[in-house]
Amino acid sequence: MAERSGFFNGRKMRGDDGAPLLHEDGSPRFDREYTAAEFAEMFSLYLTNGIRNGGNNLRVAADNGLVVRALPGDAIISGYFYRLVGDGRLFQIEPNFAGGTRVDRIVLRLNLRQDDGRRISLELKRGDTSLTRNNEIWELAIADISIPLGFTNLTQAQITDRRLDPNLCGLIHSLVAIDTTNLLAQMDSFFTQQRALWTSQTNEYNTWFQGTSAAWTAWFNQIRVELFDQITTAFDDWSRRAGFSYETETFPNNPGGVRIVETLLNTISRAVLATKTTQFNANATEINETLIWVQPPLRANKRTTFAGNRTTETVTQA
């Protein structure tokens, strides 16, 4: 396993005779010597390529005639630092005397060639909007300049800013970020367990609620059945009192089965006090009773069904 670290102060190296060891140019040799590429490698671990901030940082602006100006600013490419200071840098754009509109591009170029490079500089590419990107040259697009045929005075409208396009240039961003892979895995596991627990508890509650609801409904229906029966008893009791008369009418040929209508009236005024209708279905498996009191107003329905040895009574109030 190879380990690398840096950067540390160096100590002068000496030979066996104690004399300082020297480079070919006569400079002293140190036991800790680093190259610019190693420094750049370190910075590239933490910072992306791009310009620093936005605003006017390296912005290209129309200046005078066919001259444009790159304003001061900073940038980083592959860990190498660039700064433009002072009044910026002027570029003379060549006139366009033939053909259609020509597009020139101003780029920020990192040149790592040992013979003619080892620098970052702003460059004007005439009629070329491509970007060179390889082990020796790496370019960031700063601006595109459109030069219509015969134009001699550029305006800002002919300059397209490319600095904020992350594919062409972009802003410097930190590459330092928290790796949340394990954290997310733990959270997913936790939520999966909690979801299973919540589902189990919800199912238990639903089972309990359904059982309790069914028991409560049965109890409440039984109370209503008992109340209906008490009202029916009162109906029968009033029918035997003095001053009231009781009439019964049977409809044996009713389409839904035999229907019996019982009416309780005031003997003198013939005012109806209450009516009770009993409907037997044709196959004798169901009885529907409807009891209506005029004063106080009350309407109740009782449905009795027969299935084998089981009898079910249900009461509703309208």
Query: Please, is 260 exposed, middle or buried when counting C-beta atoms within 10 Å of its C-beta (0-12, 13-18, 19+)?
Result: middle
Question: What does the pLDDT read at residue 74?
Answer: 95
> Any residues with CB less than 8 A from the CB of 207 and at least 6 apart, and which?
none
Q: Is-above-0.85 flag for pTM?
A: no
pLDDT tens digits along 198-246: 888 888 888 888 888 888 777 777 777 777 777 777 777 777 777 788 7
The strand order across the sheet containing 119-125 reads 119-125, 102-111, 137-147, 159-161
Q: Pairing mode, if any, of strands 119-125 and 137-147?
A: unpaired
pLDDT at 6: 80
Alpha carbon 210 to its chain's center: 36
Give strand pairing partners of 310: 307
List pLDDT tens digits, range 115-167. Answer: 888 999 999 999 999 999 999 999 999 999 999 998 889 999 999 999 999 99
- pLDDT tens digits, one per residue of 292-318: 877 778 787 888 888 877 877 777 765
Q: Which two tokens stand for residue 300?
A: 């109740």
- Which domains can be identified in the chain, with CATH numbers? 36-161 (2.60.520.10), 220-317 (no CATH)
Q: Is 70 left (phi over 0), alpha (psi -120 to 50) or beta?
A: beta
Confirm if 163 and 61 have CB atoms less than 8 A apart: no
Run of H or E including 200? helix 181-239
Instruction: Collect all residues with Cβ–Cβ distance below 8 Å to 246 and sequence separation of at least 6.
Output: 239, 240, 262, 263, 264, 265
